[in-house]
A and B are shown apart, each in its own frame.
Chain A
Amino acid sequence: GAVVSQHPSWVICKSGTSVKIECRSLDFQATTMFWYRQFPKQSLMLMATSNEGSKATYEQGVGKDKFLINHASLTLSTLTVTSAHPEDSSFYICSAKAPGVDQPQHFGDGTRLSIL
């Protein structure tokens, strides 16, 4: 089946540093990738939609300068949390979707980000 790899799975870093999270589709080409944020015991909140070769589309209230998204190839999208602060601590999950309206999103295992 479709496999999405997300790395790293866990990050702890100091306030003010930038953190990059990678999302790879291992066995299919993903024209669209999505980045979500999940707070404890809550649902997923869509942050942005990333299309290969074009700028990401951010949801309302999500800062594009704070959360930099790059989708340079059909198998890789990255999310960089710039100048991270404790309030950015969360569980970040990516998903990838193959072309076709009937294709489901396939999710990575998530990245737990803790900012000290």
Chain B
Amino acid sequence: AQSVAQPEDQVNVAEGNPLTVKCTYSVSGNPYLFWYVQYPNRGLQFLLKYITGDNLVKGSYGFEAEFNKSQTSFHLKKPSALVSDSALYFCAVGVDKIIFGKGTRLHILP
């Protein structure tokens, strides 16, 4: 069985500071990992994915994620946060049928 955990319900970051949203996973076999962002009353927008290759994955809107096999983590990062990054972020794992984490609400403080 596969699962994904987002340990933080909410993360607060000052604008301009680096941000990290944490995600850990559990799978049998090679993981297919994703990050999505959701704005209020909207669907999910795809940010980035890790299938194989470099452990540092670059995605949309300046976001990146680091795959760490030994720690089974796939944390989302951005060097300098913007107020417009405030949203709900979901980590997900799977191939055809994917499992979502419970989400982390990111607040960027002006």
Contact = CB atoms under 8 A, between A and B. Distances in A.
A78 interface: no
Interface string A41-60: 01110100100000000000
Given A49-B97, A97-B96, A105-B98, A44 B90 contact: yes
A102 B43 contact: no
Contacts of A32: 96
Interface residues of B, number: 20
Given A43-B90, A43-B103, A49 B46 contact: no
Contacts of B100: 43-44
B1 to A, nearest CB: 14
Interface in B70-103: 90, 95-98, 100-103
Contacts of B42: 109-110
Main SS of the interface on chain A?
strand
B45 interface: yes
B32 A110 contact: no
Contacts of B44: 44, 93, 95, 107
Contacts of B101: 43
Contacts of B41: 91, 110, 112
Interface in B22-47: 32, 34, 36, 41-46
Chain A residues touching B, range: 20 to 34
Nearest to B97: A49
A68 B51 CA distance: 33
12 contacts: A4-B43, A32-B96, A42-B103, A43-B100, A43-B102, A44-B90, A93-B43, A101-B32, A101-B95, A101-B96, A107-B46, A108-B43
Given A43-B103, A94-B43, A107-B36, 10 more contacts: A32-B96, A42-B103, A43-B90, A91-B41, A101-B32, A104-B34, A107-B45, A107-B46, A108-B43, A110-B41
Interface of A: 4, 6, 32, 34, 42-44, 46, 49, 91, 93-95, 97, 101-102, 104-110, 112
Interface of B: 32, 34, 36, 41-46, 49, 51, 90, 95-98, 100-103
